Structures are given as structure tokens and as C-alpha cells.
A = this chain, B = another copy of it.
Amino acid sequence: MSTFGQVFRVTTYGESHCRSVGCIVDGCPPGMALAESDVQPQLSRRRPGQSNLTTPRDEKDQVEIQSGVEYGVTLGTPIGMLVRNQDHRPHDYTETDLYPRPSHADWTYIEKYGLKASSGGGRASARETIGRVAAGAIAEKYLRQVYGVEIVAFVSSVGSVRMPFIDAEDRGVQSPVMRDFYQLLDRVSRADVDADTVRCPDAASCDRMREEILAVKADNDSIGGTVTCVIRGLPTGLGEPCFDKLEAKLAHAMLSIPATKGFEIGSGFRGTEMRGHLHNDAWVIAPGDANGHSGRLSTATNHSGGIQGGISNGQHVYFRLAFKPPATISRNQETCTYDGVPGVLATRGRHDPCVVPRAVPIVEAMAALVVMDAVLIQQARQNAARLLPTIPLQPCMTGKAPTEPNGKE
């Protein structure tokens, strides 16, 4: 349905041509400073018309908070937010409406609902993601303030132009390329990413990606790409075995973004080719922690992508997401009508030749929603457990040596 999250819960509404699109965020902690200016920046990073790489359609996408905030502070009650659609008249019929657009949702919506929004886009339009981005901005503000969590996504490939790490081998002795990649994950910021409209923080790759997008655009065609995202500063213990593992929720969230075709976390598909003794992330004591506190274990490598057994281990969570080439292209396409009559569909109008630059804030938003929900659920558990009377535990349940030889405390 249109609701995501269990305790921090977002519900969205809106099509491409209705009065407004928006969302209700339920479960936001009370007492947090919040204003529209906290939400607008990510919406502006997502909006169309930002550069010559995106659709020239220009929409302001100004968010209006309806409820849940007073005198600049969250009340803990649902936060309604909306963005008005500048053109909200339903679409008028044209000859091309006889054709379901190839690889669009026109036909499947009719199969599902028996009808579809008059405009092709409807609920499958990218405007649907506005509510997600607005909600994600709130989640992110909480996570940043309380835990210092940083979520940064960037374009890692456009077509066959890939950042070097994607093709690097990773067989234990990490190559310089992989070392560079892990260092990038340590420090990449949104400012780095936004330094170029392509949103790739690797300058050499970035130029080639821009060329690729412009070439595709000039060709009235489109191209896919990948977005990589890193989440730094996550507390340990997030994620719910067994069905709601942290990576499972991330995969769910990411594959719910329009045009996505794949997701990999940590070593991902490459990791399937590694031997276990190289893939295993050995435990080390985190540098600077002289006390040997168990809460400070770290891993020498991070093939796990920061998650083990579905639970965050405190290392960076990173994943890569595949986007297909946009289905809307300004070319004639041989296809057939809803009634099965072969013909040629000529799509006019403005579109994105490649979605990945604009997808960056959407990926960050969905990551924030997943993490925020996981944080609240884990906080409930930890707090609940902390309040219980302490009882002695078997050493084999604790990672501690027994205090007496017989293994009983």
C-alpha cells in the first residue's frame, strides 16, 4: 500500500496531475526543532529542471507543513505535508492514448485497477516520490542530531561508464582501487556530490558520465545507471531478525523507488565469487579504545556492508542500486495499441535522459526512513531490557569467560 514503516510511519498520496502530492509522517519524536526549511533542500535536489541533464520542466516543489509542528517544534502528532501540483488539470485525450507506452505502467495500472489516471504518469509518476523525500528529511534530521548519522548517496555509474571500484577485484589483499573506494565511503559529503550536476564525486568518472548523458540526450534516447549510498554513524543493534533484517528493509525501500532493477549490499554480487576465508570480516579492537570494551569491536574489512545476521554492527552500511534507462524517449517506437493493433508510438515532450542524478536524494530519503524506524524499534527494546532486574547469565550467552571452572557463574 502507500504506507511504509512500523513505528516511524509514512503514508503518501498524489498523482502527477491532481491538486497536490504529499504525505503524513506518524511517529516523529516530539520536541524536535522542525521547519519547512529543513525539508526543502532535499526536495530542491530532487525537483526537475535543475540542469541540462534533467527534464527542462520547471516546478518549484515548495513544501507546506500542515500539522504536527507548532512554534517550530514537533508535537509528536502526525505531520501532514504537501506540495501543490502546478498543473493539476486532468490530461485530455490524444491519439497517443491509444498506446500503452512500452515499459511504462499504463497497461499494468489498467490491469490492476480497471482504469488509470488520464495522464500516463498517475501514481507511477516520479512526483509520487516527493512525499518520500519530505518524510525522509525529517527522519534524517533526527538521526543526524541524535546519532550523528550521515547518509550520502552518489552516482556510481551511467551506462557503461563506471566508477573504478565497480570493476575492481576484491580478493583479500585489497587493491588500491578498493582502498580508494573505502576511503571515499569514509568521507564523501553531499557537498562533494553536488559539486557537479552529475552527482558523481569522482571527477574523472563524472566528466565521462556527463558526456554519456548528453550524447544519449542528443540521440533522443535514455540510459540507466547506478547509485551507491553510504550510511555512516549507525548505532549497532538495528534490524529485526528474521524477516525484517536491516538489509531486507533497505532492499524493500530501494526497490520501491521507480525504475530500480537491482540492489546489492556490502560485497554484493562480487562477494559471491570470494572464498570464505577472504570474505569473512575479522574482528579487531577499534583503534583508540584501550579498554577492550566489547561495544567497540570493529572489523578489519567490511564485506558485510555493516550488517551481520540482519543487524547493524557499527561499520558503514553501503549498498548500490541499479536504475534502468527511463522508459520515456523522444523516439518512435514500434509497439501496439491496448487493443493489440500494431503501430508506431511517437512520444513527445520533456523527459530525463538519465534518472540517477535526481535519484540521489530519493535514495537518501528511503535509507533514512528505514534507519529511523529501526532505531525507534531498537530503542524500545533496549530501554525495555535495561529496566529489567539484572540476572546472572551463562557465559556462553554473553561472550564472557566463566568466572568459575565449571562454566557456571
Contact = CB atoms under 8 A, between A and B. Distances in A.
Interface centre among A2, A65, A313 (most CB of B within 10 A): A2
Number of copies: 4
B285 A340 contact: yes
A168 interface: no
A31 B251 CA distance: 31
A312 B109 CA distance: 10
A103 B280 contact: yes
Given A11-B24, A265-B262, A112 B380 contact: no
Contacts of A251: 248, 251-252, 254-255, 263
Interface centre among A78, A98, A117 (most CB of B within 10 A): A78
A399 B222 contact: no
Interface stretch (A55-63, A178-186, A203-211, A270-278): A270-278
Given A1-B240, A71-B394, A262 B252 contact: no
A111 B219 CA distance: 53
B399 A329 contact: no
A346 interface: no
Contacts of A123: 75, 77-78, 241-242
A172 B282 CA distance: 44
A75 B340 contact: no
Contact of A272 (B9, B256, B324): B324
A380 B245 CA distance: 19
Given A109-B311, A284-B336, A397 B73 contact: yes
B31 A78 contact: no
A249 interface: yes
A396 to B, nearest CB: 4
A384 B395 contact: no
Contact of A280 (B283, B333, B391): B333
A382 B30 CA distance: 9
A140 interface: no
B78 A66 contact: no
A122 B14 CA distance: 26
Interface string A71-90: 10101111110100000001
B309 A113 contact: no
Contacts of A377: 7, 380
A271 B268 CA distance: 17
A269 B303 CA distance: 19
List 7 A-B pairs, minimum CB-CB distance, nearest first.
A105-B309, A338-B399, A262-B264, A222-B276, A292-B340, A252-B252, A380-B380
20 contacts: A3-B26, A12-B78, A13-B77, A13-B80, A15-B67, A30-B385, A75-B113, A104-B309, A105-B311, A107-B294, A108-B308, A112-B378, A221-B275, A245-B256, A262-B271, A269-B269, A283-B336, A285-B340, A294-B339, A379-B383
